[in-house]
Structure 1
Amino acid sequence: MTEEKALTDIDPIILFFLLGLAAGLLRSELRLPSAVYDLISMVLLLAIGLKGGVELAQQPFGYLLPQILAVIGMGFLLPLIAFPVLRHLGGFRRADAASIAAHYGSVSVATYAVATAWFASREIEFEAHMPLLLVVLEIPAILIGILMARGLSRDVPLATVGREVFLGKGIVLLVGGLLIGWVAGPGGVASIEPLFFDLFKGILALFLLEMGLITAAHFGGLRRYGVFLVLFGIGMPLFSALIGTAFGLLLGLSVGGTAILATLAASASYIAVPAAMRISVPEANPALSLAAALGVTFPFNVLVGIPLYHALASWTHRILGG
């Protein structure tokens, strides 16, 4: 009975990720068609944005502004901490250190989606405007990463970078979903709830199946670049989660909200930041960033990090509350 209970405690969406990871490592022919993967990604991004937008329609913006500004500050702080570690301890070139630091200062939408599903399955509540903070946290690290790599120079194509950052597919879908949910409100989105809300976890399971396959493909980069990326890919999220927890406490978030913010801080981007770095810092090696973000940090957060960050948030709230 004990063993059966332990097995049923594993979230099915995590098992989908493990299936994809195993299939990739075993060099299976399993693949999702690219069009299907793109569609699933779009639905997930829109669903996250819609959920946040519906809640924004019920909250005054003045209440959210301090949290938005604090999260922007956190987005600037994290890459500034990661850069000297990568540059001086890891021995990376300036461009590579700046690029990896930008990845770890930004956020993974997939990790956020897994976290929200994990919380929902355990009936853990958190502030519903977290998708807004997710969008806000995408941007500061990209700007800091470019500045650390280039400095203030005319060679930086600011207009092109700005277009890539603010008009990239991920940001457009998240912000677009937020605006639609905000304008339509709870009643307006009722007709599309079956697709975007009711099927969210099933669509996420298919997305994680493909993410497992992609993660397996980046394991080769870890073999080539040694153990430092493995240590950094685990150590940096743990440190960032502490910072996210501290910000959550300072902002007066609930236990669930603090844990979500810690998860956001601990995640690493592999969509928005690679696209921006490809334009602004083309000499940076993208294999380094993706090997760490996808090969180490994403599976660590999905399998271990999320429950760990919730336990950290619960412990800190209990200690300070007591």
Structure 2
Amino acid sequence: MNLDLLLDNLTNPALLFFLLGIIATRLKSDLAIPDNTSKFISLYLLFSIGFKGGQELAHSDFHMEIIWAVLFGILIAVVIPIYCFFILKQKFSIENSGAIAAAYGSVSAVTFVTAVTFLEIQKYTFSGHMVAVMALMEAPAIIIGVILIRLYNKKEASSSKMSAVIKHSLTNGSVLLILGSLVIGFLASEEQAMGIKPFTTDIFKGFLAIFLLDMGIVSGRKLDDFIKSGWSTLVFAIVIPLVNGIVVAFLSQLVTDQVGNRFIFAILAASASYIAVPAAMKIAAPKANPGLFLPMALAVTFPFNITFGMPIYLSIILRC
């Protein structure tokens, strides 16, 4: 791995604000971002990414690579939760195995947003259709997770309706906003887009830094609960995302030769959902313990990906 690339990432202000949030909680500081402010910033980040992705898509020629990219993304979101479930089932209950598998098969929009900034710093671009790929990868893993729970736990199957879970997955706020923004960005003319550029582009990195500060505070609060779950969860939360990211970094060359697109595929495969999946599993698998899969995704996998994972995946892509 390129050490200069790793060093550049570790000194990224957005990442340092994330670490500041963790430090603040460990020092028992009263530093906090108000809930309404945090929610607004997360909505803004999704809106900005979706809108800019739509603009990029509007200026791109439609070709088979877009179709293959969508299919490849959905395939990733289907395969990962299946093999993760059978690994997890050796240690955890059916409900927890299905929920954790769904979290690691689905994607993190915040990780995606951070990855976009990382690419900009490294002077690489990605295609607008990758925003749509990201949004379309959220639901399949949730559905697969629920199906696996239903197959291996007949009692749980009778207490949840698949149609309700599918509907919740597709109408989840983060999915709906980023897809809606993508469509709006696609329909808007270049002149209209320039009118809101100060909002969609100029202040993006500042809001990202504040949001990651909040994510650091939330992660720090969940560390103690996670530590109590044992070493196996820590190993899973690091090794599985790393394997997923590295494998997809290699395989993505079958779909596209663009560095930025391949990197997005890798980081999406390596990420874990801690927004859409917990909300869906509350309906589909109420016995699943969010105190287990939330800290795994948010307090371990997320910081690992944005510190070490991204430089690793990019280095692999640049070498093959």
Q: 1:62, CA displacement in angstroms?
A: 4.7
Q: 1:246, CA displacement in angstroms?
A: 3.3
Contact 2:138-2:276 within 8 A present in 1 as well: yes
Q: Counterpart of 1:42?
A: 43
Q: Is 1:267 aligned to residue 267 of structure 2? A: no
Q: 1:8, CA displacement in angstroms?
A: 9.9
Comparing 164-173 with 151-160, greater Cα deviation is found at 151-160
Q: 1:95, CA displacement in angstroms?
A: 0.7
Structure 1 CA distance, aligned partners of 2:224 and 2:308? Answer: 22
Q: 1:115, CA displacement in angstroms?
A: 1.0
User: Structure 2 counterpart of 1:139, which letter?
Assistant: A
Contact 1:17-1:208 within 8 A present in 2 as well: yes
Aligned match for 2:186, one of 182, 186, 190: 182
Q: Counterpart of 1:96?
A: 96
Comparing 43-52 with 149-158, greater Cα deviation is found at 149-158
Structural RMSD (CA) = 1.7
Contact 1:112-1:263 within 8 A present in 2 as well: yes
Q: Counterpart of 1:240?
A: 244
Q: Counterpart of 1:319?
A: none
Q: Counterpart of 2:77?
A: 75
Structure 1 CA distance, aligned partners of 2:250 and 2:161? Answer: 35
User: Structure 1 counterpart of 2:88, which letter?
Assistant: L
Q: Give the fraction of aligned pairs with identical amino acids, expressed as a percent.
A: 37
Comparing 151-160 with 288-297, greater Cα deviation is found at 151-160
Structure 2 CA distance, aligned partners of 1:178 and 1:315? Answer: 32
Residues 113-156 of structure 1 deviation map (CA, whole Å, 9 limit, x = unaligned): 11111111121223332211110111110000000111395643
Where 1:218 maps in the other structure, the secondary structure is helix
User: Structure 1 counterpart of 2:235, which letter?
Assistant: L
Structure 1 CA distance, aligned partners of 2:165 and 2:63? Answer: 30
The two structures have a TM-score, normalised by structure 2, of: 0.92
Contact 2:53-2:131 within 8 A present in 1 as well: yes
Stretches of structure 2 that go unaligned for 5 or more consecutive residues are: 1-6
Contact 1:127-1:253 within 8 A present in 2 as well: no
Structure 1 residue runs of 4 or more that deviate by more than 2 Å after TM superposition: 6-9, 58-63, 125-129, 151-156, 185-188
Q: Counterpart of 1:295?
A: 299
User: Structure 1 counterpart of 2:72, which letter?
Assistant: A
Aligned match for 1:258, one of 257, 262, 274: 262
Q: 1:162, CA displacement in angstroms?
A: 2.5
Contact 1:259-1:312 within 8 A present in 2 as well: no
Q: Is 1:56 aligned to residue 66 of structure 2? A: no
Q: 1:27, CA displacement in angstroms?
A: 1.4
